[in-house]
Amino acid sequence: MISFPTSKINIGLKIIDKRPDGFHNIESVFYPIKLKDALEIVENETLELVVSGLNAGDNAENIVLKAYNSLKTYNLTNFKIHLHKAIPIQAGLGGGSSDAVCMLKLLNNNYNLQLSTYKLKKIAGNLGSDCSFFIKNKPAFVYGKGEQQQVLTNFLKGKFLVLVKPQEISISTKEAFENIVISNSEIDFRNIAKIEIAKWKNIFCNNFEPFAFEKYPELQEIKTFLYEKGAYYASMSGSGSAIYGIFKSNPNIKTYKNYFVWNEVLD
């Protein structure tokens, strides 16, 4: 059984306040993109996880195993799990969250667990704040600690995405949240589809950028470069360190440094 976990970009990200539970309330728009990992599970005598591709850290702490363990009350068999990473980690693209949700879906769909969408979202939300977005995996206004979504239309359909991540720069979510400034912006993200894309750069911002750009000026340089190449809008995704630009058509960008680069036409 195999699945292909997708990723997302953030269009704007506002940190509203810190919650009593230690998390932060946020507002953002998540937009799914086609950059994918691959996840395969095969029944096995013991539980085993193999990770290939991009470095995904300690296997024992991998969120895919946490997803499996969250369903252990269903007396599932053991599996050999093969996770092939193509989505960069610590890049603000939600790859780990998507991996976890695909694990939940594989088990639910193939082992007749009969978990409703509501129940899946609740389980996913306990695994990570971004996880529940990938249950529906549709453009959405995201709020609360990230577990609440309001689905939007595919308002970027046909636009061209260029995503750039320096291989040597990764930003942990913990580090990013320790260095944010609370936003006082009153922007309503739910109206994003009604706003001309060329105006976004004066409206939507990512509250993680000031810290990230001060620590890693190269990220600011990439954002500026994308605008110079004609991007309607450019931004860091999530807590970083991937930077993307949205274009009318393929700008044929060629980078000369050791960057991960992804291009696609958005759905």
Residues 6+ apart with CB under 8 A from 6: 32, 33, 34, 35, 36, 98, 134, 137
Q: 15 and 139 share a domain?
A: yes
CATH code at position 145:
3.30.230.10
Residues 145 and 250 in one domain: no
Q: Is 221 helix (H, G, I), strand (E, B) or coil?
A: helix
Bin 160: left if φ > 0, else alpha if -120 < ψ < 50, else beta.
beta
Locate 201 and state its tokens.
Answer: 């750069």
Residue among 141, 127, 108 nearest 10 (CA): 141
Q: Which of 8, 14, 165, 223 is catalytic?
A: 8
State the residue range of the domain holding 206: 160-265
- Say how many domains are in the chain: 2
Domain shared by 108 and 199, yes or no: no
Question: Do both 23 and 140 map to the same domain?
Answer: yes
* Of 151, 173, 207, the domain-final residue: 151
Instruction: Identify the pLDDT of residue 256.
Output: 72
8 is catalytic: yes
pLDDT of residue 48: 95
Whole-Å CA distances, 146 to 14, 27, 129: 11, 8, 5
Residue 176: closest CA among 207, 133, 201, 147: 207
CATH number at residue 246: 3.30.70.890
Choice among 37, 99, 105, 130 that is catalytic:
130
Q: Which tens digit of pLDDT belongs to each residue from 144-200?
A: 999 999 999 999 999 999 999 999 999 988 899 999 888 777 889 999 999 999 999
